[in-house]
Amino acid sequence: MVPILAAACLFIPVLAASHDAAAQPYPYRPVRIVTTQAGGGSDFAARVLAKALTGPLGQTVIVDNRGGGATISADIVAKAPPDGYTLLGASGTLWVASLIRKTSYDTLRDFIPITLAVNTPNILVVHPSVAGSVKDLIALAKAKPGQLNYGSGATGAASHLAGELFKHMAGVDVVRVPYKGSGVSVNALLGNEVQLMFPSASIAIPHVRSGRLKALAVTTTKRFSMMPEVPTMSEAALPGYESSVYAGLFAPIRTPAPVVQRLHREAVQYLNTPEANELFLRSGGADVVAASPQESRAIIQSELQRLGKVIREAHIQDK
């Protein structure tokens, strides 16, 4: 009987400590945002949000970079306790990955979007000698089927999907040339080794402003605030065209609603400031969205349907 009583006595402090922890207001310890390798769009957004949340939450918010792509960080967070202390900083590659390969997670089943913070357009750019407008480019591609090349990133990257959507909607045969990095692909375009590309705005803008590349259209449904003179693809030639990259903050499913609401409130309070708009625009080439969890979920559902159609029709698969 004595050993049993002793064991019970030892267990009581553990229960008490667990109860005390659960009773403490969120957050009572540091928060971690797991994201992809340093230097990408997801990492930039995660670092900005981590800094913005640290003050209002009263706890340090740290960024934990993981190599190996979006699926690695997503897997870690999907399996983490749903307590608000392990969050995911991710971009559209989170749900695109599940469309082109088997993943250990389902974006809508395993995550709650705290906010889709920003949206980054891609820019259709060409070597200045190629075309002066989207309509000119389409006419040229139809006159020379299979003779024009477009540079892109890895399979499923935004630059790849934007190019395939262009081919499908314009009804043209343009050959994809994949590259390992944006620098290599841009250099190929500057050298006229490929004739067109859909790089991110931050990559395209310096070369457009120098006159070495010509911007024909932006891939979002609205004109990009840094290049208001450049039409959307929809305005230029292809009504309904849309391709861009969202980045935001996610929590594991079953994270308590008050925690998600607190994180959303503090994040969007910063995102809606002039400082945040200027920072994301000038440093990240992105427009602030600051979507609610409900709005974010609806955007992701729409993205899955729209991009899923492009991926199926183009037979895109990451082997």
What's the CATH class of domain 29-120+245-313?
alpha beta
Task: Write the DSSP symbol of residue 47.
Answer: H
What's the token pair of residue 220? 């979002």
**Interatomic CA distance for residues 196 and 151, integer angstroms:** 7
Q: Which CATH code, of 3.40.190.10, 2.30.110.10, 1.10.287.3510, 3.40.50.300, is assigned to 123-236?
A: 3.40.190.10
How far, in whole angstroms, is CA 265 from its chain's centroid?
A: 20
Nearest to residue 246, comparing CAs of 287, 206, 298?
287
How confident is the model at residue 319, as a pLDDT? 59
How confident is the model at residue 184, as a pLDDT? 83
Angle at alpha carbon of residue 131, lines to 222 and 92, rounded to 5°: 40
Question: Which phi and psi (to 5°) does residue 114 adopt?
Answer: -75, -45
Burial environment of residue 141 by CB neighbours within 10 A (0 to 12, 13 to 18, 19 or more): buried
How confident is the model at residue 216, as a pLDDT? 98
**Interatomic CA distance for residues 144 and 59, integer angstroms:** 59
What's the token pair of residue 250? 């996610």
Segments of the chain scoring below 50 in pLDDT: 1-21
How confident is the model at residue 202, as a pLDDT? 86
**Interatomic CA distance for residues 107 and 155, integer angstroms:** 19
What's the token pair of residue 312? 């199926």
Instruction: Identify whether 27 is preceded by a cis peptide bond (ω within 30 of 0).
Output: yes
Domains of the chain, by residue range, sit at 29-120+245-313, 123-236
Contact 146, 175 (CB under 8 A): yes
Same fold, 29-120+245-313 and 123-236: yes
Burial environment of residue 73 by CB neighbours within 10 A (0 to 12, 13 to 18, 19 or more): buried
**Interatomic CA distance for residues 280 and 76, integer angstroms:** 27
Give the chain's length: 319
